[in-house]
Chain A
Amino acid sequence: MTSIILLSVFGIANLFIGFTKSKRILLPLALLFLIVVFGVNLLSWNDTQTYFNNMITIDNYAVAFTGIMVLTTLLLIPFSQRYVEEGDSNLAEYYSLLLFSLVGAVMMVSYENIIMLFVGIEILSIAMYVVAGSNKKSLRSNEAALKYFLMGSFFTGILLFGIVLIYGATGTFNITEIGAAQIATDGVMSSMFILGLLMVVIGISFKISAAPFHFWAPDVYEGSPTFFTAFMSTVVKTAGVAAFFKLMAAAFAASYAAWFPTLIAITVLTLVVGNIGAVVQSSAKRMLAYSSISHAGYLLMSLIAFNSNSASSILFYSLSYASASIAAFGVLMLVADQKGSDKYEAFNGLGKSNPLLAFVMTVAMLSLAGIPLTAGFFAKFFVFSAVLEDPNMLWLVVIAVILAAVGIYYYFRVVIAMYMQPATNFEKVRVGSFASFTLIFITVLTLLLGIAPALINDLL
């Protein structure tokens, strides 16, 4: 709760500080704000409290996911140094929008009432619509914002209609009471309830860009400025999956049989579309967009496992995916700014000109592909072992492993371009001190979690 209040206050304060002449203060200040929120958030650990007439519950689940999302933003913010150097006049607004959207993300992992879930999703999404179009002169950014906005509000409507139908069937918005209402009727559910459940699943699947509701994701991720693409593909996805799992575990555990087949279909489709789609791309940024769809598939796998290991495997996967993804997008941002292209060829010869950047990118790619000694390996391992608690689901793990092997192909194209291809020009990519420190920190974190996964995995 204090994290929600602090993020809102800091967001507003940040807007006012934006009036000052010097923009240099904004970046360190945003980092300071996030560090404060991160610390204050941890104080609620093992201290479950409910607020606002039982509309929000801050439990360990909420604290853990809030921590991950704030940490992700904290690691992302240093890459906005380019905006600082260019003297972008909207810098304060960008930081404030990120802080405000974090408020929505925190609400999405700590809600106890579907109203709060809806408000959280919207706070997060509306801020994202704005930042997707923050490059006002670029037609690609315009198109990304328009597509994201129209599609996003369309699926918000579907989500809302689903919520109303569930309310009509059960008579409550409280997720625990919705769960109790199904047990009271012995799992016999009206068609109204089933339809509502389906629409809610569709609405949230859209937000985490699961196929067949993924069609916006590659376009929006490619068109938006890379800095915000990184935020969308990490924080928004983490919040969406955490909210999805919380909803299913608290409200719809009794109707497991009703949504299980739908979710299996969505998961398999997401894995296939994400991995196959990424193979055929020529732009590294668009490849990362498709890879983010495929990672939504792996996250959904731990949701459909639906046992005591699900929460911790989602947590570990989110953290390892977010850290590797931030590093990948960060390096892509630096390289693309310098070379003016986000194709694979832009990475040619990076191993010679910038050994550090190339190493960071290699570790990130290995982690995303799930190679041992990186966090990504254990993330996939925990997800698969959670799914395998039910031996009948072996076929799903086999599909996922085959598609993960496909993933190695497209992640290694970047590595091969960096180390094997000759450089077209030997110009060194300039990296700011903040950014290089962050990249090293992320790499250390990725390798540390790859060696000692118990640091995070035992939390929930």
Chain B
Amino acid sequence: MNQIPEVIRTIPLEYYLFFSTALFTIGVIGVLTRRNAIVIFMCIELMLNAVNLLLTALASYRADASAQVFVFFIMAVAAAEVCVGLAIIVMTYRNIRSTDVQLLNYLKW
């Protein structure tokens, strides 16, 4: 099992940093431009996974287990969010028969 951090270290840290930032940015752009609640939600998951990836890379570069543990925390929290989020989306779908976020505009100033 000790080889895995070494395999990760064969690629320079900058590459992981740029890749994760790119994934994160794609997620942000998706959230800001899409209209379907489920697609927005997928983009949010993409952002969280970019974070997980970067954490894993940093953990093996620093040989620090605490970042690896943080990845598990993020996964657990993301799973809880999926539960609640999909339930909310289903509840909304039952009422308006759509997952388009722009159809919900009853509240505005």
- The yes or no verdict on A and B being binding partners is yes
- Which A residues form the contact surface with B (CB < 8 A)? 115, 118-119, 122, 126, 129-130, 133, 136-137, 139-140, 142-147, 149-150, 153-154, 156-158, 160-161, 164, 167-168, 171-173, 218-219, 222-223, 277, 280-281, 286
Tell me if B88 and A149 are in contact (CB < 8 A): yes
Q: Which of chain B's residues have a CB closer than 8 A to the CB of A156? A: 48, 81
Tell me if A115 and B70 are in contact (CB < 8 A): yes
| Min distance, Cβ A436 to any Cβ of chain B, angstroms | 31
Docked pose: A218 CA to B106 CA in angstroms: 12
Chain B 78-95, CB-CB to A under 8 Å as 1, else 0, gives 001100110111011001
Tell me if B50 and A129 are in contact (CB < 8 A): no
| Min distance, Cβ B16 to any Cβ of chain A, angstroms | 10
Tell me if B51 and A157 are in contact (CB < 8 A): yes
Q: Which of chain A's residues have a CB closer than 8 A to the CB of B8? A: none
Tell me if B40 and A164 are in contact (CB < 8 A): no
Tell me if A281 and B109 are in contact (CB < 8 A): yes
Tell me if B109 and A286 are in contact (CB < 8 A): yes
- List CB contacts (< 8 Å) of B42-83 with chain A: 44, 47-48, 50-51, 54-55, 58, 62, 64, 66-67, 69-70, 73-74, 77, 80-81
Q: Which of chain B's residues have a CB closer than 8 A to the CB of A143? A: 92, 104-107
Chain B 1-37, CB-CB to A under 8 Å as 1, else 0, gives 0000000000000000100000010011001000001
Tell me if B62 and A171 are in contact (CB < 8 A): yes
Q: Which of chain B's residues have a CB closer than 8 A to the CB of A150? A: 31, 37, 40-41, 44, 85, 101
Docked pose: A122 CA to B44 CA in angstroms: 15
| Min distance, Cβ A242 to any Cβ of chain B, angstroms | 21
| Min distance, Cβ A361 to any Cβ of chain B, angstroms | 23
Q: Which of chain B's residues have a CB closer than 8 A to the CB of A144? A: 107
Partner of B51, one of A139, A160, A286: A160
Tell me if A161 and B95 are in contact (CB < 8 A): no
Q: Which of chain A's residues have a CB closer than 8 A to the CB of B37? A: 146, 150
Tell me if B64 and A171 are in contact (CB < 8 A): yes
Docked pose: A223 CA to B87 CA in angstroms: 18
| Min distance, Cβ A225 to any Cβ of chain B, angstroms | 14
Q: Which residue in chain A gives the minimum CB-CB distance to B69?
A: A115
Docked pose: A281 CA to B109 CA in angstroms: 8
Q: Which of chain B's residues have a CB closer than 8 A to the CB of A129? A: 84-85, 88
Tell me if A154 and B73 are in contact (CB < 8 A): no
Docked pose: A137 CA to B62 CA in angstroms: 51
Tell me if B55 and A164 are in contact (CB < 8 A): yes
Q: Which of chain B's residues have a CB closer than 8 A to the CB of A160? A: 47-48, 51, 74
- Which B residues form the contact surface with A (CB < 8 A)? 17, 24, 27-28, 31, 37, 40-41, 44, 47-48, 50-51, 54-55, 58, 62, 64, 66-67, 69-70, 73-74, 77, 80-81, 84-85, 87-89, 91-92, 95-96, 101, 104-109
Give 10 nearest A-B pairs by CB, closest first: A157-B47, A143-B104, A219-B107, A160-B51, A122-B77, A142-B92, A145-B88, A153-B44, A164-B54, A129-B84
Q: Given known contacts A150-B41, A157-B44, A173-B70, is B89 in contact with A277 (CB within 8 Å)?
A: no
Tell me if B44 and A140 are in contact (CB < 8 A): no
Q: Which of chain A's residues have a CB closer than 8 A to the CB of B50? A: 161
Can you name 27 A-B pairs with beta carbons within 8 Å?
A115-B66, A115-B70, A118-B74, A119-B77, A129-B85, A139-B95, A142-B95, A142-B104, A143-B104, A143-B107, A145-B88, A145-B91, A149-B84, A150-B44, A153-B81, A154-B47, A156-B81, A157-B27, A161-B47, A161-B50, A161-B51, A167-B58, A168-B17, A172-B66, A219-B107, A223-B107, A286-B109
Tell me if B44 and A154 are in contact (CB < 8 A): yes
Tell me if A140 and B54 are in contact (CB < 8 A): no
| Min distance, Cβ A114 to any Cβ of chain B, angstroms | 9
Docked pose: A119 CA to B104 CA in angstroms: 30
Partner of B108, one of A122, A167, A171, A219: A219
Tell me if B91 and A149 are in contact (CB < 8 A): no
Tell me if B88 and A137 are in contact (CB < 8 A): no
Q: Which residue in chain A gives the minimum CB-CB distance to B89?
A: A146
Partner of B85, one of A149, A161, A167: A149
| Min distance, Cβ B84 to any Cβ of chain A, angstroms | 5
Q: Counting chain B CB atoms within 10 Å of each CB, which of A140, A146, A147, A222 scores highest?
A: A146
Q: Given known contacts A129-B85, A150-B40, is B95 in contact with A168 (CB within 8 Å)?
A: no
Q: Which of chain B's residues have a CB closer than 8 A to the CB of A137? A: 95
Q: Which of chain B's residues have a CB closer than 8 A to the CB of A281? A: 109
Tell me if B109 and A167 are in contact (CB < 8 A): no
Q: Which of chain A's residues have a CB closer than 8 A to the CB of B24? A: 157, 161
Q: Which residue in chain B gives the minimum CB-CB distance to A215?
A: B109
Docked pose: A167 CA to B58 CA in angstroms: 8
Docked pose: A157 CA to B43 CA in angstroms: 10
Docked pose: A303 CA to B8 CA in angstroms: 41
